[in-house]
Every structure is written in structure tokens, then in C-alpha cells.
Amino acid sequence: MTTQQLIEQINIKKSFLCVGLDVDLNKIPQHFLALEDPIFEFNKAIIDATHDLAVAYKPNTAFFEAYGIKGWRSLQKTINYINENYPDVFTIADAKRGDIGNTSSMYAKAFFEDLNFDSITVAPYMGKDSVEPFLAFENKHTIMLALTSNEGAFDFQTLDTDGKELYKRVLETSKTWKNSENLMYVVGATKAEYFTEIRKIVPDSFLLVPGVGAQGGSLSEVCKYGMNANVGLLINSSRGIIYASKDVDFADKAREEALKIQQEMAAILESK
Amino acid sequence: MTTQQLIEQINIKKSFLCVGLDVDLNKIPQHFLALEDPIFEFNKAIIDATHDLAVAYKPNTAFFEAYGIKGWRSLQKTINYINENYPDVFTIADAKRGDIGNTSSMYAKAFFEDLNFDSITVAPYMGKDSVEPFLAFENKHTIMLALTSNEGAFDFQTLDTDGKELYKRVLETSKTWKNSENLMYVVGATKAEYFTEIRKIVPDSFLLVPGVGAQGGSLSEVCKYGMNANVGLLINSSRGIIYASKDVDFADKAREEALKIQQEMAAILESK
């Protein structure tokens, strides 16, 4: 999917919601456990119930890998289901990958070709040659960690590096990399005031924003400081939507939660 | 495996060699392609040919994930084969994982429990709560990126952070984390002179050292500056060993290359 097509979908759906698929078998309705592939069946139900309200889905690879081969099969079925039934949806492999060049090329092949995701999250620590192999794929997007929403974000990301915080230097440096137009960035919602500074460095880039809802961030604050002319935001919610209920009504409740966020987003887009 | 058991194995085998299993189907003897699981069969042959010369094997997850479910099955068969046949070998999942706490817990479960690796490589960018979930596993080891051997290492890892390079701060900070005795570190061999400084910060930790051979690092230089009283080094070689020949004699040639390194290691240990 191109960035332009993503922007069109945001305008059509009046939504920039991304639903995170972090499926923990202990937290889903227990009748799923009798099925052959509980994770896929749960994801399918969530996607069917929310696809007109969300522009993106973000399966978190850890929650699949924890179940080995079976989990990897659930991941493949989930992405295939989205691509076949809802091709207008933007897909994100939340994988936080990053390694030396020839290894990153293999990860890119795994997620962009074998699984056919539109995008993948990557970690910046190993620098340019660990990220550029992902950027080489046309119409695929590489979402690099900049400032995350967890407590540990303050261990290294905000360290002062010659008068500038590390995450700002990560943003700046990445703009010099080949095919950097294929970059997006992860910026946590728990720090809305940081968005003003971030937008000075990457005014046009899409930002994937976790931390709204369960992790405490405010949607209106993030939009106030982080939105650009093309919206430029994908706001992720995982647990708040997919675990809205553990009962048989879980899909309806997930839709209700997604609808609340989508309506708030529609109002924000309207007021722009 | 405990650290003490690893040290014992180093002394028994007179080796601190780690063989990296980065299997690219284009680079292995082509008769393997007719087999049902070429990656596993190739790994098995390499392991059988080198197990008395190496103390560790390091499958690189990217090279399995690139083949989807089939690749994940090859990974599972490879680690099971090692655990069943050579239980004295230390196993490393070279996965470079790292995410917020509950996600890192799922990765730890995937690699430490489901696949039963002794250790996993992780990235430090997200800080304490992204790494501590791995450290919580008893007799499992978490090998964190400090200073890598690629060109991009100089993009961020060596940035000056208030008078100290970032990788040094990563080392120092990680020592304050819970169960930090379960940490090892990745330090690239292409920068042997850095080992002196690194040993001032982490005198007792094991260091996993890529970059000897194909990437240009010198074994004797690394040992000169990086070895401690318990050896404290695992020197990785991947391509130099596993792709020593593309012909039917590939396993013999792999053994020859491993033996050269092991003999050099034995001489270094002898001279200590």
C-alpha cells in the first residue's frame, strides 16, 4: 500500500485507528480454546467486527512466536485473512527487528514477501545498514522506534547526545538514509508534549502512536501536537479494544470501543 | 545451562568457538534442495561435523523466518537436535528481540520455554523493562547488544552522551537491572581496542563476539584485550565455517575451518 492510499483510507473511514492484535490465550473468551486455531479465530472475529472503523491492524509477532510453529501459522492465516478480505487495510508486523545488513534483508523478505505485510517495526540501535535493507522495498514501510511509551524509554532514548536527545538524533540521522521516504516512526502517546519537537524534525512522516488508552495517553493531546496536513498519525489501541469483554459478546464490545475512538477521531478530523 | 557449566565446557574442549547457523539456501550444497527440510539437514551435518570443536551454536532467526512456517519448523528441529544429541552445547537464539514488558515476556517464553534455548540476543533501545522480563529466567542468559560489528554501529552506539559513549552507558546501566548476573553482551571484533574499556565496565561478563573472520576482526587481538580469568568470550564464526565449501565435502571443510580456529584458541588458552 502506498502512503497516498493510506491517507485516502483515513479520509474515507474518518479514522486513523490501528488495532493491535496481541492475543494472549489467557485473556480471550474461553470457548475459543476448543477450536483448532484459537488465535486466528479470535483475530478474525475482531477484524470482522472492526474493519470499517480501523485503517490498520498490527499483529505483535511475540504473541504468535510464543506458540511456536502453531503460532506462526496463526500469524500467516491472520495476515492472509486481512489481505484477502480487507485489502484496503494497512498492515503492520510489530516485530521490532534489526540486525546487520544481510540478516535484515532476510527479515524484510520474511515480513514483506513471505507474509506480505505493508510494514514492519524496527529498532534503530544498529544504525543505517541495519535499516536500509527494509527501506529498499517499494511501497513497503519501515516503522522505526524513536520514542517509546514504556518506562525504560528514559534509560537511553532521552539521553543528551551533544546537546540533543538521542531519539531526536535517531530521527534526524534516519532522514539521510537511502529511501528514507519509506520511514515512519514509533512515538509513544504518553509524552504528548514531545510531539511539537518531533514534528520540527519529521513534519511529513507518519507516526505510529502506542500508549493511548491502557497506557494512559490522551488522543486529543496527541492530535493537538502531532497531527500534520495529511493527519500523519496512526493511533494504536490493543488491549482496550480486543479485551473489552471476555464473554461471548467480546466482538460487539470490541466494536463499541473501536467506535468510541473512531467517533472521537472523526470529530477531530472534522474540526481541522 | 549455568555460566559455570559453560566455563567447564570451554576448558574441556579448549575452545570458545560459537558457530553461527545463518543458512541461506542459495549458499549451501545444492543437493540439499531435494530434501524435505534442507535447512535442518544442512545444520545437522554442520553440527555433527563440528560439535567437539565448538562450545556454542547460534541459529539466526531471520534465516528461518524468511521461510515462514517451514523455516520455523527447521528452527525447532535444529534446536531440538542440539538439545537431544549435544546437551553440553550452549545455544543462542540470535533474535535481537526487545519490546515493552508484556511483549518481551512473550518473546522470552517463545525462546526459553517453547524452543528451550539457553540464551537469546536482545536490543537495548527500549531500556530496562524491555530486558528484565528475559533476565527473570533462571539459568537462561540474555545477550544484549552493546557495540556491534557493522558500519552502522557508529551511527548511535558511539555517540557521546554527557562525556561517555552510548554503548558504555548501556553496559553501565544494565548492571543495575534486576537479575543482571544473567546478562552477557554482544561486542564486535572489528574494534579490538575497545575491549580494554569494556572490560573496565563488565570485567566478569561473557561477551559474544561476532566479526572475526569474514568481517575482518582478529582473534588474537580480541583475546589480548577481551579475555578475563574465566575466558569470558564466545567468538562467533558463521560464513567462514558453514560456507567453507559448496561441494559434497562441505562438512569436512567446515570441520577444517572450525579446527583451525579451535587450535588457535587452544594455543591462546595454553599460553595464559
Residues 57-116 of A with CB under 8 A from B: 60, 62-63, 65-69, 71-73, 76, 94, 96-104, 106-107, 109-111, 114-115
pLDDT at position A61, please? 97
pLDDT score recorded for residue A215? 61
Mean pLDDT for A211-226 is 83
**Residues A15 and A262 sit within 8 Å (Cβ to Cβ):** yes
ipTM, interface predicted TM-score of the complex: 0.96
Residue B246 to residue B31: CA distance in whole angstroms? 10
Cβ atoms < 10 Å from Cβ of A138: 9
High-pLDDT (> 90) share of chain B, %: 94
Any A CB within 8 A of B177 CB: no
The sign of the torsion formed by the CA atoms of B92, B94, B98, B101 equals negative
- Residues B148-207 have pLDDT tens digits of 989 999 999 999 998 999 999 999 999 999 999 999 999 998 778 899 999 999 999 999
- Residues, chain B, total? 272
Hey, which residues 194-233 in chain A have their CB within 8 Å of chain B?
none
pLDDT of A212: 83
Q: Determine the average pLDDT of the residues in A171-194.
A: 94
Nearest in space to B118 (alpha carbons), one of B133, B96, B132, B134? B134
Nearest CA in chain A to B161: A161
Q: Which fold has domain B3-271?
A: TIM Barrel (3.20.20)
Read off the pLDDT of each residue in A194-208 and give the average, rounded to a whole number. 97
- Burial of A251: CB neighbours in 10 Å, binned 0-12, 13-18, 19+: buried
Q: How confident is the model at residue A193 (pLDDT cuts 50, 70, 90)?
A: confident
Q: For B112-150, how does the pLDDT look when each residue is reduced to its tens digit (9 = 90+)?
A: 999 999 999 999 999 999 999 999 999 999 999 999 989
CB-based contact B21:B59 (threshold 8 Å): yes
Contacts of A189 (CB under 8 A, 6+ apart): A149, A209, A210, A211, A212, A215, A217, A218, A219, A221, A222, A235
Query: B45-72, pLDDT tens digit by residue?
Result: 999 999 999 999 999 999 999 999 999 9
Q: Where are the domains of chain A?
A: 3-271
pLDDT of residue B272: 82
Q: Is the distance from CB of A74 to CB of B123 less than 8 angstroms?
A: no
- Whether A75 has a pLDDT exceeding 90, the answer reads yes
**pLDDT higher at A71 or A189:** A71
Whether B153 and A66 lie within 8 Å, measured CB to CB: no
Inter-chain contact A162–B166, Cβ cutoff 8 Å?
no
What's chain A's average pLDDT?
Answer: 96
